[in-house]
C-alpha cells in the first residue's frame, strides 16, 4: 500500500496559455516543447555572438563584432601539446583515401591526419629543430603550418573557441593573443599586428603521401583524449552551400565550398579553382605579383600546390572558395580560356 493516497494528493491541474486543461500526455509534450524552446533561445543568445571577456580584447585590429563565439568555448576543442607518432606501417587506422596534411624538412617527413585534426584543430610539434604549429579549420577546409618561434621564443597555441570570418582563431599560451589562421596575424591581445610565417605543407591523400614518403611518421590516435577518430563531425558540410557562420565578404561566382588553391605574393592574391584547373588538364604557368609560378593539380589525390620558377615549393592554401574570398575580397581568379569567367 502506498503511503501517499492518490485522493489526498491529486495531480496538479495544468492549463495551456488559453486556459484549456492539459491531459498528462499533453502537458508532458508541452513541457518538452518548452524546454526545447529554452535551449534554442540559449543557443541563439550565445552561438555566433560577440564573445564574453575570456580574452583581453582591448587591443585589436579587426572589428570586435566580427569576432564571434563558435560554441565550444576556450579549449573546448583541445589542442594537442604532446603529439605521439607511429610509422607508416603502424598507421593501420588510415585508409588510402583519408586526407592528411604533410610536412617535410630534409629527410624528415610527418603526416597529420584530418580525421584527428577535425577534433583538435591544432598540433604543437617540432620538425627537426624547428618548432611548428600545424593547424586545421574544418569550417574553411584550411590546413596551414606555421613556424612557432616568435621573437626568439617558442610559442604554443590553443583553440580559443572564437571565430573570425568563419575561421579558426588560435590563442598563444604565452600572451593569450588571438591569431587568425587564414589571416596569419594576431587580431587581438598584446601581439596584435604580429604575423606568423607559414611553412610549405601538402594537403593530400594518405596513399599519395605514403608513396612519396614511405618513411614518414604519422600522428597517432593516442592523443591523450577519448575521441572516435573514425567519426567525422562535419560529414556533409563540404558539399552543402550553407555556412555555419557569416562572413563580411561573399562572392557567388563559385559554389561556396568549391576547392581552390590560393597564393599571395608581394601583396597580390590569386585563387585557382579546381573546376578551372580540371579544364586545364596540365600544370598552369602564371604570373602573380610579377613572379612566375606554376600551379600543379592532382585530380586523383584532389590536391594542388604552387612552385616558383626554380621549382621551389611556395606556401599556398587549399581552402573553400568562400573562405579564400572572405580574407581576399580583391583576389584575382584564374579562369581557363575555354571556361566561363566568374
Let me know if residue 326 belongs to a domain: yes
Domain carrying residue 328: 259-333
Let me know if residue 170 belongs to a domain: yes
Partnered with residue 197 across adjacent β-strands are 147
Which pLDDT belongs to residue 52? 52
Shared domain check, 321 and 208: no
Q: Is the pLDDT assigned to residue 45 strictly greater than 70?
A: no
Shared domain check, 207 and 69: yes
Cα–Cα dist 22/29, whole Å: 10
Rg, C-alpha atoms of the chain? 24
For residue 122, CA distances in Å to 159, 215, 309 come to: 7, 23, 32
Which pLDDT belongs to residue 105? 87
In this prediction, residue 181 has a pLDDT band, given cuts at 50, 70 and 90, of very high
pLDDT digits (tens, 9 = 90+) for 244-273: 999 999 999 999 999 999 999 999 999 999
Q: Is the pLDDT assigned to residue 2 strictly greater than 70?
A: no
Shared domain check, 166 and 115: yes
Number of Cα atoms under 13 Å in the Cβ half of residue 143: 25
Q: Count structural domains, the chain.
A: 2
Where is the domain boundary, 219, 247, 274? 219
Shared domain check, 212 and 112: yes
Residues of the chain with pLDDT > 70, as a percent, come to: 83
Which pLDDT belongs to residue 1? 36
> pTM of the prediction?
0.84
Across the range 180-205, mean pLDDT stands at: 97
Where is the domain boundary, 160, 190, 219? 219
Q: Of the candidates 2, 38, 34, 31, which has an alpha carbon nearest to the alpha carbon of residue 14? A: 31
Where is the domain boundary, 201, 219, 237? 219
Shared domain check, 277 and 167: no
**Comparison of pLDDT for 188 and 12, the residue scoring more:** 188
Which pLDDT belongs to residue 6? 37
For the ranges 40-54, 78-92, 96-110, 237-251, the lowest mean pLDDT is seen at 40-54
In this prediction, residue 151 has a pLDDT band, given cuts at 50, 70 and 90, of confident
Shared domain check, 327 and 215: no
Which pLDDT belongs to residue 100? 98
Q: Is the pLDDT assigned to residue 59 strictly greater than 90?
A: yes
Let me know if residue 315 belongs to a domain: yes
Cα–Cα dist 274/261, whole Å: 8
Shared domain check, 200 and 142: yes
For residue 11, CA distances in Å to 27, 32, 101, 204 come to: 12, 18, 61, 63
Across the range 155-163, mean pLDDT stands at: 98
Q: Of the candidates 141, 277, 111, 304, which has an alpha carbon nearest to the alpha carbon of residue 207? A: 111
The residues, any chain, with a CB within 8 Å of residue 120's CB and separated by 6 or more, are 77, 78, 79, 80, 159, 223, 225
Q: Of the candidates 91, 104, 90, 98, which has an alpha carbon nearest to the alpha carbon of residue 117? A: 98
Let me know if residue 101 belongs to a domain: yes
pLDDT digits (tens, 9 = 90+) for 290-304: 999 999 999 999 999
Cα–Cα dist 44/76, whole Å: 19
Let me know if residue 242 belongs to a domain: no
Q: Is the pLDDT assigned to residue 5 strictly greater than 90?
A: no
For residue 12, CA distances in Å to 8, 9, 29, 183 come to: 12, 9, 16, 59
In this prediction, residue 281 has a pLDDT band, given cuts at 50, 70 and 90, of confident
Residue 312 and residue 300 in contact, taking contact as beta carbons nearer than 8 Å: no
State how far Cα 204 lies from the chain centre: 16
Residue 288 and residue 265 in contact, taking contact as beta carbons nearer than 8 Å: yes
Let me know if residue 151 belongs to a domain: yes
**Comparison of pLDDT for 337 and 163, the residue scoring more:** 163
Let me know if residue 339 belongs to a domain: no
Average pLDDT, the chain: 88
Across the range 116-130, mean pLDDT stands at: 96
Q: Of the candidates 160, 331, 335, which has an alpha carbon nearest to the alpha carbon of residue 249? A: 331
Decide: helix, strand or coil at residue 178: strand
- The full 3-state SS of 142-167, as one line of letters, equals EEEEEECEECCEECCEEEEEEEECCE
Across the range 201-216, mean pLDDT stands at: 97
In this prediction, residue 8 has a pLDDT band, given cuts at 50, 70 and 90, of very low
Residue 294 and residue 285 in contact, taking contact as beta carbons nearer than 8 Å: yes
Q: Is the pLDDT assigned to residue 28 strictly greater than 70?
A: no
Which pLDDT belongs to residue 18? 44
Amino acid at each position: 500500500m502506498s503511503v501517499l493516497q492518490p485522493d489526498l494528493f491529486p495531480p496538479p491541474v495544468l492549463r495551456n496559455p488559453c486556459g484549456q486543461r492539459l491531459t498528462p500526455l499533453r502537458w508532458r509534450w508541452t513541457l518538452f516543447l518548452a524546454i526545447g524552446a529554452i535551449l534554442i533561445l540559449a543557443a541563439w543568445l550565445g552561438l555566433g555572438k560577440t564573445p564574453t571577456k575570456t580574452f583581453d580584447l582591448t587591443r585589436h585590429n579587426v572589428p570586435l563584432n566580427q569576432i564571434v563565439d563558435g560554441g565550444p568555448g576556450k579549449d573546448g576543442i583541445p589542442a594537442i601539446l604532446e603529439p605521439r607518432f607511429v610509422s607508416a606501417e603502424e598507421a593501420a587506422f588510415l585508409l588510402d583515401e583519408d586526407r592528411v596534411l604533410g610536412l617535410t624538412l630534409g629527410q624528415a617527413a610527418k603526416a597529420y591526419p584530418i580525421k584527428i585534426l577535425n577534433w583538435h584543430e591544432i598540433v604543437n610539434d617540432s620538425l627537426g629543430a624547428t618548432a611548428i604549429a600545424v593547424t586545421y579549420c574544418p569550417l574553411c577546409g584550411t590546413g596551414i603550418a606555421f613556424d612557432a618561434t616568435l621573437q626568439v621564443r617558442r610559442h604554443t597555441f590553443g583553440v580559443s573557441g572564437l571565430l573570425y570570418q568563419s575561421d579558426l582563431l588560435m590563442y598563444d599560451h604565452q600572451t593569450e593573443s588571438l591569431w587568425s589562421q587564414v589571416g596569419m596575424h594576431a587580431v587581438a591581445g598584446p601581439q596584435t599586428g604580429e604575423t606568423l610565417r607559414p611553412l610549405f605543407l601538402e594537403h593530400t591523400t594518405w596513399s599519395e603521401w605514403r608513396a612519396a614518403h614511405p618513411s614518414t611518421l604519422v600522428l597517432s590516435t593516442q592523443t591523450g583524449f577519448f575521441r572516435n577518430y573514425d567519426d567525422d563531425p562535419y560529414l556533409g558540410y563540404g558539399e552543402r552551400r550553407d555556412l555555419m557562420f557569416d562572413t563580411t565578404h561573399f562572392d557567388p561566382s563559385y559554389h561556396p565550398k568549391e576547392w581552390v588553391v590560393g597564393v599571395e605574393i608581394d601583396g597580390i592574391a590569386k585563387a585557382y579553382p579546381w573546376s578551372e584547373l580540371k579544364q586545364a588538364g596540365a600544370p598552369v604557368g602564371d604570373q602573380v605579383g610579377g613572379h612566375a609560378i606554376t600551379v600543379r593539380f592532382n585530380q586523383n589525390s584532389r590536391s594542388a600546390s604552387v612552385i616558383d620558377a626554380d621549382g621551389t615549393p611556395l606556401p599556398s592554401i587549399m581552402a573553400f572558395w568562400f573562405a579564400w574570398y572572405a580574407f581576399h575580397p580583391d583576389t584575382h581568379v584564374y579562369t581557363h580560356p575555354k571556361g566561363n569567367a566568374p
